[in-house]
Amino acid sequence: MNDIHVAEKPVQAGLALPGGMLIDGQIVVDATAFDVIDPATGEVFAQAPDADRDDLDRAVTAARCAFPHWAAHNFAARRGVIAQIASRLRTSAEPLGKLLTAEQGKPLRDAIGEVRRAADHIEALSTFDVAGGVLREDARERVEIRYRPLGVVGGITPWNVPVMLAMVKIAQALYTGNCIVLKPSPLTPLSTLAIGEAIADIVPPGTVNILSGGNDLGVWLTNHPGVDKISFTGSVATGRHVMASAAATFKRVTLELGGNDPAIVLPDADLDATADAIARSAFANCGQVCMAIKRVFVHRTLYPAMVEALASRAAAIRVGPGSDPRSEMGPIQNRMQFEKVVALLEGVRATPGARIVTGGIVRAGPGYFVEPTVVTGLDDEAPLVREEQFGPVLPVLVYDDIDDAIRRANATEFGLGASVWTHDSARGADIAERIEAGMVWVNRHGGNGRDVPFGGAKHSGYGREQGVAGMQSYMEMQAVTVPKD
């Protein structure tokens, strides 16, 4: 193998950088590489290997060769391997967290927490009964529904929660008897590559392969004839390309795409508790969460107080580099997304009647920092309301009639999540049923249990991940009919 090319760029002290990609049980170095940028500085701090077609072909071949032996293991054996992976994540949480902070930007405690939550998450996923069972049995015959592994899964993960999403795809593939070839975002490849190194001695060769690269690698993976399923998490635009690319070989596809989640606040909602929860959702991870609250509809009688409460909570958030232990929110992860959020803020300033209640400040100097921002005075057609901002800027809108609020909440191409806030939980549940979203919560937003299928309606996704339904999407259903003797 060729040695990886390392440019003369600064490397942050204390970071354990990965050495290469995991292919067929080996750490593979490559002659070409691409830059990885620290969003807190806007500067290159490391490089990652840039996989080519030959690397991908080797990974897919290794996965196909490993598949029959891995699929022959029972669920208990696969669960045992996943438990070992979870244990390794926990012991590696601090160095992995530091690497994640450097490339993604989130505060170090949040990054370490992501690694630890991923360990808990994959252990929980590997406890579900996904094998199927008897559908019907009578005097004439017995009909069984069985679920068989598909073969090789291609996983593609985004840059906002890279460790958690990589581990969820790996665990679901492994537990259901598949092998996986995983491609992390080129903006945050290092922590996932480091996980590959950490677990290389745990997973049988070929069962887990992790390759880094740019958009070309994603295209090669989605149309590779040796891949049986694509699990993609990312933007709506890229999701369309993934589905089209996978169609030629009839790959199974799961798409976790964007969201523009509304929160509908009824006049009887608890002001402080609701404001606390909405602010946590809207500004967590610098607003870079697919199911974050991105629009708030508040009844007119509660509107002034809710705006003030949300603004006070946003103003109290301390923004700074993730490596600073005082920081509560880091930078936006990349320049392209930063420029989009800045453009949305400029649009607010140019809109008559719109008001930035707090925040709106784009910090001068290095890095992609934007203060948590609360905006009022926009109509539903404003870009900040209509589009997914994926940043720490929250529009708050007023309504008078609940039917109108529901109509406006549904007037979007997205349909990932939504929430209803009210003292009357039964009424909240009735309203939730009318919202066009894959997941709706009453008096909270997000935080699904591992047994709850995750996914959206409309342009927010296709299929489900997690829970029994999501796990079984990594398998092929088979109906077996056996006559009675």
Query: Which stretch of DSSP H or E encloses residue 156?
Result: strand 152-156
Structure tokens at 318: 């301390």
Structure tokens at 429: 């549940």
Catalytic hit among 179, 197, 290, 371: 290
Alpha carbons 415 and 438: distance in angstroms, whole number: 6
Span 180-207, pLDDT tens digits: 999 999 999 999 999 999 999 999 999 9
Catalytic hit among 256, 371, 388, 465: 256
Span 398-457, pLDDT tens digits: 999 999 999 999 999 999 999 999 999 999 999 999 999 999 999 999 988 889 999 999
**8 in active site:** no
> What pLDDT was estimated at residue 15?
85
Query: What's the whole-number mean pLDDT along residues 121-147?
Result: 96
Structure tokens at 422: 């009210």
CA-angle at 98, arms to 94 and 103, nearest 5° = 145
Alpha carbons 188 and 42: distance in angstroms, whole number: 14
* The pLDDT of residue 130 is above 80: yes
DSSP secondary structure, 344-406, as one string: HHHHHHTSTT-EEEE--PBPPSSS--B--EEEES--TTSHHHHS---SSEEEEEEES-HHHHH
pTM exceeding the 0.85 threshold for the entire prediction: yes
CB-count exposure of residue 289 (10 Å: 0-12, 13-18, 19+): buried
- Collapsed DSSP state (helix, strand, coil) of residue 336: helix
> What pLDDT was estimated at residue 10?
44
122 backbone dihedrals φ, ψ, rounded to 5°:
-70, -30
- Residue 121 vs residue 15, higher pLDDT: 121
* The pLDDT of residue 62 is above 80: yes
- The mean predicted confidence, pLDDT, of the chain is 95
Long-range CB contacts (within 8 A, 24+) of 26-32:
26/200, 26/205, 27/196, 27/197, 27/200, 28/1, 28/55, 29/1, 29/2, 29/3, 29/4, 30/1, 30/2, 30/4, 30/55, 31/2, 31/3, 31/4, 31/5, 32/5
Query: What's the whole-number mean pLDDT along residues 389-401?
Result: 98
Span 29-41, pLDDT tens digits: 987 999 999 999 9
Q: What percent of the chain has pLDDT over 70?
A: 97
CA distances from 170 to 173, 176, 180, 190, 362 (A): 5, 10, 7, 16, 37
Query: What's the whole-number mean pLDDT along residues 375-402?
Result: 98
- pLDDT band at 12, cuts 50/70/90? low
Span 308-319, pLDDT tens digits: 999 999 999 999
* The pLDDT of residue 3 is above 80: no
**290 in active site:** yes
432 backbone dihedrals φ, ψ, rounded to 5°:
-55, -40
The answer to whether 298 touches 265, Cβ cutoff 8 Å, is yes
Alpha carbons 250 and 241: distance in angstroms, whole number: 14
Enumerate domains of the chain plus CATH numbers: 21-257+460-480 (3.40.605.10), 261-449 (3.40.309.10)
Query: What's the whole-number mean pLDDT along residues 273-282?
Result: 98
